Every structure is written in structure tokens, then in C-alpha cells.
Amino acid sequence: MAKKIYSTYPMVKYLRKEALPTALCPGCGGGTVLNAFANAIDGLKIDPKDLVVVSGIGCSAWIASPYFLADTLHTTHGRAIAFATGVKVGLPDKKVVVISGDGDLASIGGNHLLHAARRNIDITVILVNNFIYGMTGGQVAPTTPFGAKTTTSPYRNIEHPLQISETVAAAGASYVARWTTAHVYQLIGSIKKALQVKGFSLVEVISQCPVQFGRRNRMKEPAEMLRWFLKNSVPVSRARNMSPEELEGKFVIGEIVNRERPEFTTELNKLIDEVQEHFGLKGDGDV
């Protein structure tokens, strides 16, 4: 059955066939994200040879690694962006993409996320936010909605979720957008834009985890979760005129920021040029 689907799926050319079928649970939003990413790569006609994909630890880290057929670096928990920083400095002409989850990138890896945005290094981060630690069994995350139930907040979550996109935008990223897995075409559009932006770009994808999050919060069917996303999504333009109380529990979707700022690897190479020029080290001078 699985083999048949993969043989007719047009994006299968971007996948590492020996790693299929995927380990994702039925109904997981990870497949939608993988599909959107593959479509964006296909739409921009990016040669996968010009792509390095880096991920951390957790379900969402698997979306691109091992499944995506490119150079892939599957790293330690939370550190994907720091690893990707080294890759990007080494290969400034390649597209370096980080795909990982909220627990990985925004919790343990929160510091690297902020500083990569501040540095404005040309990396595209696709952050899959499913409100939960899926792979470890459904524990509370820094993105879990207030009041939601998880295995480690069995009564209710009394912490407030981190607004990842707004935080990264404030830290200095060039491009930030947020969509849900119910907004596939918009998501593909934003991933395309993010890949073309020269600077740090983040696409946050709110994604369903019916197995670990949904069934503990009265949404055990994937479709119920998608309906929940659609019902509570507010476009960023409308959200600007809403009070914090009105926005409680809502998902602000759309482009949060899109601006030009000096990019890190460009500046780094410019600096090296200037220094070599200054010390008379350029060209074939005296040997």
C-alpha cells in the first residue's frame, strides 16, 4: 500500500526512498509540512544539491532528515540552528534550511533561535509547532496553550505559551510568517518567500498532533484539530486591531515581518575582504 502511494506521489523524487515509509503517526501534520517544503523547493526549481537540511531531535526533526534527499545533518537536541550556522558560513551560496519542532527550536534551542535572528544569518527555519513533546510521550511544552492537558500538566497547563514568531521578529529576523497545516497553499507561498529572502527567515507552522495533544484535549481526530485551527486563525492585519484578551487562544497567521537587513555571511565575507585589502594581502604580491 505504502509503496503504491510513493510511486504515484509527484514529490517522491525529493525523498530518500530507502528511509520510507515515514515513522510519522497517522494524521500527523508532519506529512503536510514535508509536502509543502517539497512543493516550495519544486516551485523554485532549487536543485537539492544546493540544499543542506539540518534538524534537531523530535518528531518534526524527522520531516526533513532522513526523509528529504539532500545533504542532511541530524543534530543534538536544540542545537540545529547552531550547527546550521557553521554550515552556512562554510557554504554561503547554498540554501541552508532547518526543520524541527517547537520543543527543539524554541525551548532548549531558544537561545540559538534568538541569536541567529539577531545575527540575521541567511538560514530558513521551518518550525513545526504542535504544542507538545510528541516523541517523548506528550509532555507540556513552552508552546502548550494555557489550560491544556498533557502528561505532565494532567490537571491543566498554568504556564503561558511562547509567541515564537513575534519573539523572533523582535530579535531581528528578516522574514517571519506563521500558518497552520490547514493553510497549505499559503504555507508553500511563505516557505518560497523565506527561501528567497537574504537573511534569517522563520516559517512557523502550527501543526496537529492528534495522538499526543489532540486526544488529551478532546480532538482525537486530525480533522477536528484542523477545524480548530481554521476556527481560531486570525489574519495578522485583523489581529493588529484586537486586544490581548480577544487574541487569547487565537492563532495569528500571515506575514509577521518582511524587511531587509544586512545579512551575516555577506557581512563576514565583506569584512574579510576589507581586512585583506587593508593589510595589503590581496592578489599575488611578494611571495
Partner 1 sequence: MIIRGNEPEQLRLLRKLYEPGNYFMQGNEAVAYGALFAGCRFYAGYPITPSSEIAETMARELPKLGGYYLQMEDEIGSIAAMVGASWTGFKVMTATAGPGFSLMQENLGYAVMTETPLVLVDVQRSGPSTGQATKGAQGDFFQARWGTHGDHPIVAVSPTSGQDAFWETIRAFNIAEKLRTPVVVLFDGVLAHTREQIKIPDVSEVEITYRKLPENEEEARLPFGDPHGDGVPPMPLFGHGYFTHVTGSTHKETGLRDVYTPEVHDRLVRRIHRKIEKNREVYEKYEEHFTEDAEILVVSWGVTARPALGAVLRAREEGIKVGLFVPKTVHPFPAERMRGLAKKARTILVAEMNLGQMIIEVERYVNDDVLLKGVNKIGGVPLTVEEILREIRGVA
Rounded to whole angstroms, how far apart are CA atoms 174 and 169?
8
Under a CB-based contact definition with an 8 Å cutoff, are residues 59 and 30 in contact?
yes
Q: What's the closest the beta carbon of residue 282 comes to partner 1, in angstroms? A: 10
Nearest to partner 1 of 242, 275 (CB atom): 275
Q: What's the closest the beta carbon of residue 152 comes to partner 1, in angstroms? A: 23
Q: What's the closest the beta carbon of residue 94 comes to partner 1, in angstroms? A: 6
Phi-psi region for residue 131, left (φ > 0), alpha (ψ -120 to 50) or beta? left
Residues that bind partner 1 (CB under 8 A): 16, 18-19, 48-49, 52, 54, 65-66, 69-76, 79, 82-91, 94, 111-112, 114-115, 268, 271-272, 275-276, 279, 281, 284-287
* Whole-Å CA distances, 172 to 35, 128, 258: 28, 20, 11
Nearest to partner 1 of 16, 227 (CB atom): 16
Q: ∠ CA 234-236-240 to the nearest 5 degrees? A: 100
Nearest to partner 1 of 245, 286 (CB atom): 286
Nearest to partner 1 of 213, 264 (CB atom): 264
Under a CB-based contact definition with an 8 Å cutoff, are residues 108 and 84 in contact?
no
Nearest to partner 1 of 90, 235 (CB atom): 90
Nearest to partner 1 of 19, 234 (CB atom): 19
Under a CB-based contact definition with an 8 Å cutoff, are residues 211 and 133 in contact?
no
Burial class of 116 by CB neighbour count within 10 A (0 to 12, 13 to 18, 19+): buried
Rounded to whole angstroms, how far apart are CA atoms 163 and 264?
25
Nearest to partner 1 of 25, 236 (CB atom): 25
Q: What's the closest the beta carbon of residue 240 comes to partner 1, in angstroms? A: 31
From 245, 226, 254, 255, select the one nearest 146 (Cα to Cα).
245
- In the Cβ-directed half-sphere of 270, how many Cα atoms lie within 13 Å? 6
Q: What's the closest the beta carbon of residue 229 comes to partner 1, in angstroms? A: 31
* Max intra-chain CA distance, the chain: 75
Q: What's the closest the beta carbon of residue 96 comes to partner 1, in angstroms? A: 9
Nearest to partner 1 of 237, 276 (CB atom): 276
* Whole-Å CA distances, 68 to 14, 99, 168, 240, 272: 6, 11, 26, 37, 34
Rounded to whole angstroms, how far apart are CA atoms 254 and 160?
22
Q: What's the closest the beta carbon of residue 278 comes to partner 1, in angstroms? A: 9
Q: What's the closest the beta carbon of residue 273 comes to partner 1, in angstroms? A: 9
